[in-house]
Amino acid sequence: MEQERQLRSRTTPIPGLLLFELPVHGDDRGWFKENWHRAKMAAAGLPDFGPVQNNISFNAIRGTVRGIHAEPWDKFVSLASGRIFGAWVDLRRGPTFGTSFTAELTPGEAVFVPRGVGNAFQTLEDDTAYTYLVNDHWTAESQKDYTFLNLADEDVAVPWPIPLEQAIVSAQDKKHPRLGDVVPMIGRRTLVLGADGQLGTALRKAFEGDPTVEFAGRADFDITAGDSYKAVNWHAYSTIINAAAFTAVDAAETQEGRAAAWSINAVAVSRVARAAVEHSLTLVHISSDYVFDGTAEVHLEDEVPAPLGVYGQSKAAGDLAAATVPKHYIIRTSWVVGEGPNFVRTMASLAGKGVSPSVVDDQWGRLSFASDIASGIRHLLLSKAPYGTYNLSNSGKPQSWHRIAREVYRLLGADPHLVRAVNTSDYAKPGTAPRPRSSVLDLSGIRATGFDPPEANQRLAEYLKGLEP
């Protein structure tokens, strides 16, 4: 047995399957090893997968074989005594389905097996015991999510040191299907909350055809109700996208609206954040330019919030809650345009009727088309971009609401001069919420991840064409 070995990991042909070399300290009495050390393992590359249960499997006779089982949780396996031959096969849906890897393990090695990777062990010595940590509890219900592969599958062709006909194999393991008949295990799922709004609708299109993404409108999941959280098996998920929000900016200034804004935009977000922390999920949370007072010409991601009105205050509080989640993306956007009521649709309707509206010309920003916000979110998740806050609007020269309204009229063939310019102070009525003067967001952060938002006027022209009968 090696002494004074250094803890280190190495990758394998199966994505996420990691092989570890463990320091084992021995003398005349026997040996000792740190089988699990969260900080050291994390530094060596092991995901902080949050184990909740520790199991031991004892095998009395050399040649005992267990597997190939792909389980709906992650596991970290290490030997307490003896020696085994391990075989792992990727049974997850994707391009590496069927990829295999084998290795011999002693107490000086360990392996991290991701959810959906089939694992099997053949004991090479009598009295072999191995221990494993898992990050979910076994239940009769969870067994329905298992995926299996026959130990003797000809396509994978595991090179068992002891031929299977000479080994001890359970009757059940002999019945498992060949690779061609295996139903691949889908990955952990993403849950989109607020899926019936402008952004939720765009997210449905962005993730169309992806069986791992689920969508929940308020009727399916009320983020303000505690029972909604209790009804979900969070271990089946890896990500929450919170697109739910109270967005009636002026209504938030009323007594009833103030309570609703804080309930949905702040208190409920803290509940979502708690679920994400407790189950080690990635949280994608949608923020707003209204968390700023608009005194800065361009808003950076690290600018200190200074909201002017109740809506902005409630959104800023929600951002603080979301930021407590270790794996979070806070997406700050502005002037959202998608399916449903919005400024561009309103101006298009007025243009078609020949109406001459008054529109403020002293508030500046960029439109954010919901389809591009959804694409940006998908990009961040798929590229595994660094966690944190990202500004995400469309690009191009900042414009006033007045200038955008005129562009809508022009593109629809109406006279843009029908749109009259007014100051915010002239336009505001009693009960109107204060707005930031500048809503321009710096986009260098999202661009650094490889996503370059399309130009706003280009998207505006395309959007208006989609509105034409």
Q: Which residues are catalytic?
A: 69, 132
Angle between helices 456-467 and 343-353 (to 10 degrees): 60
Spatial separation of the C-alpha atoms in residues 370 and 1, rounded to whole Å: 59
Q: Which residues have CB under 8 Å from 126's CB, separation 6+?
A: 60, 61, 62, 82
